[in-house]
């Protein structure tokens, strides 16, 4: 057994169906007496449902969360928080809303309750990504980790099929990179493989039968595990590329992760053979990169950055940004290889081995 260090994250998790009914009790246990409920504009209806559940503890709804957590949005939410005199926040939604709650917590120290309705996994991480002046920066601190996470499978039953697929593969990306992280350990690797397997078996079922509660439960369970992986160890090339594409080119978060992941895995395949074997086993395939591409196709997710508006002319700029201050990666981050990776992802090509490019 290799020597390792494992840090368990101090968060409380409630998982099941109908668990939203416990939100007031959880806010009260954190000392909350008047909280602000956060959501995107599209999920304001669910936010008001949470407000109703909170009763006297509910202050108001701020339905302005946006992708990539722009600093100006956080400043707007802070004004709403101050005018309400709130002593906590409840975030319902995906990574955009939970990211806003984290940004508020970083600035105020207020407690958070996160209620995920997608499979993004942000709720299980002490990581905050914020965008300012067209650049996305990330930081890791326990100050932004939600104190309580309420997983309610019922809230995911209406998640659109397209969003389910991309959100689920976004979650898989966290587990994939955990398997070859510099600070990986056997505990997180177990969670990573189990998380990939749970999502790989549930996402195709959801694509065909969106209201299948068993598949939805499996997917949410897998997303929890994958998010815990993201929160426990460092990430590598895939996440650096996606932060570049999201922050500097304003590409949608989950779709970008879905498209880039197979190509990032192909880039790292020879440098991380043990991780590739575990990914392939979890997917039930022979080749990890091709299997991830095929999973995206099977759930109807996009497979081309070009479809998101990323052009051939954008490749050089993205390469320069992504290689300027690279994250640790099992394979050296080389500009020519990254340029080729992005070109394949832009065109939507099924990943090929390095030898096929030579």
Q: Establish whether domains 12-156 and 161-357 are of one fold.
A: no
pLDDT band at 353 (very low <50, low <70, confident <90, very high): low
The domain segmentation of the chain, as residue ranges, is 12-156, 161-357
Q: Residue 7's pLDDT is what?
A: 81
Q: Residue 336's pLDDT is what?
A: 97
Q: What does the radius of gyration of the chain's CA atoms come to, in whole angstroms?
A: 19
- Cα angle 25-222-61, degrees, rounded to a multiple of 5: 40
- The closest alpha carbon to 238, from 309, 300, 184, 176, belongs to 176
Is 352's pLDDT higher than 80? no
pLDDT band at 355 (very low <50, low <70, confident <90, very high): very low
Q: What is the pLDDT of residues 256-279, one digit of tens each?
A: 999 999 999 999 999 999 999 999
- How much is the mean pLDDT over the chain? 94
What percent of the chain is modeled with pLDDT above 70?
98
Output DSSP code: residue 147: S
Give bridge partners of residue 148 from the DSSP assignment: 12, 113
Q: What CATH number is given for 12-156 in this structure?
A: 3.40.50.1970
CATH superfamily for 161-357 is: Dehydroquinate synthase-like - alpha domain (1.20.1090.10)
Is 250's pLDDT higher than 50? yes
Q: Residue 358's pLDDT is what?
A: 42
Give me the mean pLDDT over the 96-112 stretch.
Answer: 97
pLDDT band at 136 (very low <50, low <70, confident <90, very high): confident
Q: Residue 354's pLDDT is what?
A: 52
Distance CA 29, CA 27 (A): 5
Give me the mean pLDDT over the 188-207 stretch.
Answer: 98
Is 306's pLDDT higher than 60? yes
């Amino acid at each position: 057994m290799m020597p390792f260090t494992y840090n368990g994250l101090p968060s409380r998790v409630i998982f099941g169906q109908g668990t939203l009914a416990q939100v007031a009790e959880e806010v009260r246990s954190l000392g909350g007496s008047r909280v602000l409920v956060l959501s995107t504009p599209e999920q304001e209806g669910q936010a008001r449902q949470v407000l109703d559940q909170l009763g006297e503890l509910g202050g108001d709804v701020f339905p302005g969360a946006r992708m990539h957590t722009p600093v100006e949005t956080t400043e707007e939410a802070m004004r709403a928080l101050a005018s309400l005199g709130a002593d906590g926040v409840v975030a319902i939604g995906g990574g955009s809303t939970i990211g806003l709650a984290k940004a508020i917590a970083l600035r105020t120290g207020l407690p958070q309750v996160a209620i995920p309705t997608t499979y993004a996994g942000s709720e299980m991480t002490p990581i905050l990504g914020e965008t300012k002046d067209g650049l996305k920066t990330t930081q890791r601190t326990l100050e932004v980790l939600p104190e309580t996470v309420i997983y309610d499978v019922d809230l995911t039953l209406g998640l659109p099929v397209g969003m389910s697929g991309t959100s689920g593969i976004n979650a898989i990306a966290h587990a994939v990179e955990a398997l070859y992280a510099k600070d990986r350990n056997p505990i997180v690797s177990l969670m990573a493989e189990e998380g990939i397997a749970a999502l790989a078996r549930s996402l195709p079922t959801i694509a065909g039968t969106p209201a299948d509660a068993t598949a939805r439960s499996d997917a949410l369970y897998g997303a929890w595990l994958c998010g815990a992986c993201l929160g426990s160890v460092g990430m590598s090339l895939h996440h650096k590329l996606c932060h570049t594409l999201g922050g500097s080119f304003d590409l949608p978060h989950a779709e970008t992760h879905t498209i880039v992941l197979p190509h990032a895995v192909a880039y790292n395949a020879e440098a991380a053979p043990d991780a590739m074997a575990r990914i392939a086993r979890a997917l039930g395939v022979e080749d990890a990169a091709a299997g991830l591409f095929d999973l995206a196709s099977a759930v109807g997710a996009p497979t081309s950055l070009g479809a998101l508006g990323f052009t051939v002319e954008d490749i050089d700029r993205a390469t320069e940004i992504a290689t300027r201050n690279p994250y640790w990666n099992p394979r050296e981050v080389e500009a020519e290889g990254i340029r080729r990776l992005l070109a394949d992802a832009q065109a939507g090509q099924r990943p090929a081995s390095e030898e096929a490019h030579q």
